[in-house]
Amino acid sequence: MARSQEDLYQGPDLREYLTILKARRWSIIGAVLLVVVATALFSLRQTPLYTAESRLLLKQPLSIDGTYVPPPVPETESQVVASQPVAARVADQLGLQQSTDDILGNLHVETVSLSLVLTVAYTSKDPEVARDAADAFAQGYIDYRVQQTLEDLRTERKGVEQRIASLQDQLARLIDDIEAANSSGNAGLVTTLETQRSTLVARLSFLEQRLDDLQPEGAARSSAGEVIETAALPTSPSSPDDVKNIALALLVGLALGVGLAFLRERLDDRFRGHSDVERATGAPVLTTVPKFKSSTKRGTAIATQSDPKGAAAEAYRRLRTNLQFVAIQREAKSLLITSPSAGEGKTVTTANLAVALAQAGQRVVVVSADLRRPTLEEHFSLDQRARSQGLSTYLSGQDKEAFELIRDPGIQRLRLLPSGPVPPNPAELLASSRLGQLVGDLEEVADFVLFDSPPLLAVTDSAILAANVRAAILVIDANSTHRSTALRAKEELERNGGMLLGTMLNAFDPASSRYGYYDYATPAPTPNGSANGGKSRAGWMSRVLPTRKR
């Protein structure tokens, strides 16, 4: 069943998050270093600033008219400290050339929780200015409140004095009235007037006492507030705070690095490992082959012969084992070895798998079916004469039987059908009915028939071959093949009637991969026998081509 584009990427599960972070650790470290270095350079270029603090205690406001006055609200009084009138007083006192707005921009007033204490902080490039300004704002607030109270007191005293003068005038007229009443002998009027005089005298006495209570300076200052802690001269800058900035830069850099790591992971369309290939293709990974160095000679790329104890040879033997198990289930004797694009290692895989199967006692025919750029013969060191006729010769209808064209590469139980001359029309030649007959004939005499073919997405040759064999193995390069490419190759294969038996992850780099690689280092089989001691079936094709004498 074809997989949709939405299936191309499935987000990592919880177990893979740490693996992704480990794989992208250098990106994360780079982001952290970049942010930290940029922050450090920015801090070095900043002008050092100093902050000094003084503490101000708020007091109960004075009741001018004798009525109840609520206690001060610290939040309100902090706004008074940071007001334009107070800032103007500070500027005049310290001789600051800045505007009041600029001065207030350097001021910070905080309330101390559950108290009537304000912290007055001032920041400046000059530590002495910072100290003096903090004290000046605290004292400026007190002076401002004193001035307000004095004005209120003076207004109140003036009102009281005016009322006293008015009562004194009333009292003087009343005394004259009392004297006139006494002269006329009107006792009742005298009594009434005396009562009024007593009332006026009492009111006048109260107002005079009130006037004595309204003493301007002392009353105003006692209710304005008090500086309980003057500012100290700061000895170290408050900004830039190098420790705080670096700590913040580390957090920001880490968050940025982790974000970039997961973004790169999301945008990276390449395969990440074994399970990633299986999710994308829906087919099992039969083996994972690590990168291995080969000589300039093609023949030494057959790791199962040149380095039988190495990790690559073990990987091909694991491919052989898994293939034997799956092929029996699927009854797949003829296999197409192909890849989505060129250069992914399909030909090297075909050669190594053929040798590994032969070493395990299997009868193998390997067919060089890349009629455009055949290279399989070079891995088996086949000379030009042996290559002169082959698959293209047979498919073109020349009077040659397939068994006459099969060559012995010198490996027991393995035979090779070369590609033959490169034809002008490879796809049309492969579409011949003789191809199906060839596959059937080879399946009768061999345990496995392997076809090395061109890349699936480059030409139609592989699709034609896939329709004539039992199953296909898709070779995927771990470093260059993208999910979308592999999915298109699978769809192309299935669209033409082919069956994807499994995949092989090639050129896997254990050092750089997040998934690691295990080299089991099992004993290598001998060239002429199987790893499990299976009985040799040499000479199975002696009726076709005599075995080369050694």
Co-location of 17 and 65 in the same domain: no
- Closest Cα partner for 259 from 251, 271, 247, 270? 251
Tell me the pLDDT tens digit for each residue of 434-450.
999 999 999 999 999 99
7 DSSP 8-state letter: G
Q: Is residue 26, in this structure, part of any structural domain at all?
A: yes
Q: Is residue 534, in this structure, part of any structural domain at all?
A: no
Co-location of 257 and 200 in the same domain: no
Co-location of 426 and 445 in the same domain: yes
- Structural domain harbouring 157: 50-229
What is the model's pLDDT at position 229? 94
What is the model's pLDDT at position 452? 95
What is the model's pLDDT at position 532? 37
Q: Is residue 406, in this structure, part of any structural domain at all?
A: yes
Co-location of 15 and 117 in the same domain: no
Co-location of 79 and 194 in the same domain: yes
Tokens linked to 505: 């992850």
Q: Is residue 277, in this structure, part of any structural domain at all?
A: no
Mean pLDDT, all residues of the chain? 83
Q: Is residue 197, in this structure, part of any structural domain at all?
A: yes
Whether the CB-CB separation of 408 and 550 falls below 8 Å is answered with no
The residue to which tokens 């003084």 are assigned: 54
Q: Is residue 255, in this structure, part of any structural domain at all?
A: yes
Task: Name the stretches of the chain with pLDDT < 70.
Answer: 1-13, 15, 63-67, 210-211, 213-221, 292-300, 399, 509-550
Co-location of 41 and 101 in the same domain: no
- Closest Cα partner for 32 from 312, 329, 245, 249? 249
To the nearest whole percent, how much of the chain has pLDDT over 90? 42
Q: Is residue 165, in this structure, part of any structural domain at all?
A: yes
* Sequence-separated contacts (24+) of 239-248 with Cβ below 8 Å: 239/46, 239/48, 239/49, 239/51, 239/123, 240/42, 240/43, 240/46, 240/48, 242/40, 242/43, 245/39, 245/40, 245/42, 245/43, 246/36, 246/39, 246/40, 248/39
Whether the CB-CB separation of 46 and 242 falls below 8 Å is answered with no
Co-location of 374 and 386 in the same domain: yes
Q: Of 203, 229, 255, which residue is a domain's last?
A: 229
Quick one: three-class SS letters along 70-139?
Answer: CCCCHHHHHHHHCCHHHHHHHHHHHCCCCCHHHHHHCEEEEECCCCCEEEEEEEECCHHHHHHHHHHHHH
What is the model's pLDDT at position 16? 72
Co-location of 360 and 485 in the same domain: yes
Tell me the pLDDT tens digit for each residue of 325-337.
888 888 889 999 9
pTM greater than the 0.75 cutoff: no
Count how many Cα atoms sit within 13 Å of the Cα of residue 505 in the half-sphere of its side chain. Answer: 27
Co-location of 330 and 246 in the same domain: no
Instruction: With H, G, I as helix, E, B as strand and everything else as coil, classify residue 488.
Output: helix
Co-location of 246 and 356 in the same domain: no
Co-location of 248 and 312 in the same domain: no
Count Cβ atoms below 10 Å from residue 186 Cβ, excluding itself: 13
DSSP string, 137-187: HHHHHHHHHHHHHHHHHHHHHHHHHHHHHHHHHHHHHHHHHHHHHHHHT-H
What is the model's pLDDT at position 20? 79
What is the model's pLDDT at position 66? 65
341 DSSP 8-state letter: S
Count how many Cα atoms sit within 13 Å of the Cα of residue 129 in the half-sphere of its side chain. Answer: 15
Whether the CB-CB separation of 221 and 177 falls below 8 Å is answered with no
Count how many Cα atoms sit within 13 Å of the Cα of residue 281 in the half-sphere of its side chain. Answer: 36
Number of domains in the chain: 3
The residue to which tokens 């982790």 are assigned: 258
What is the model's pLDDT at position 525? 37
- Closest Cα partner for 221 from 324, 136, 149, 315? 149
CATH code, 332: 3.40.50.300
Give CA separation, 527 vs 316, 354, 358, 360, 519, in Å. Answer: 14, 13, 9, 9, 21
As a whole number of angstroms, the distance between CA 35 and CA 39 comes to: 6
To the nearest whole percent, how much of the chain has pLDDT over 70? 85
Q: Is residue 518, in this structure, part of any structural domain at all?
A: no
Q: Of 508, 525, 543, which residue is a domain's last?
A: 508
Residue 303 CA from chain centroid, whole number: 40
Co-location of 116 and 246 in the same domain: no
